[in-house]
Amino acid sequence: MIPEQRVFVERIRRGGKIEDATADTVIQAGDIVAVAGRRDVVTIWGMVLVMMMT
């Protein structure tokens, strides 16, 4: 990933329910995740996450 950069997971839609993300939240296959951060960092983070989930 990109050193010294952050991506913030704001909310997760899981099973039709929207939940605020916490430090204990575990992202699961099928979740829809709302994130915030610099566009280039979010794009890279998204690609890494997709590869991890497949």
pLDDT value of position 14: 96
Q: How confident is the model at residue 4 (pLDDT cuts 50, 70, 90)?
A: confident
Q: What is the pTM of this model?
A: 0.67
Helix (H, G, I), strand (E, B) or coil at 39: helix
Asked if the model's pLDDT at residue 1 lies above 70, the reply is no
pLDDT value of position 53: 72
For the chain, how many residues are written?
A: 54
Q: Which residues of the chain form beta strands (DSSP E)?
A: 7-14, 17-20, 32-37
Write the pLDDT tens digit of every residue in 5-54: 888 999 999 999 999 999 999 988 889 999 999 999 889 888 887 888 77
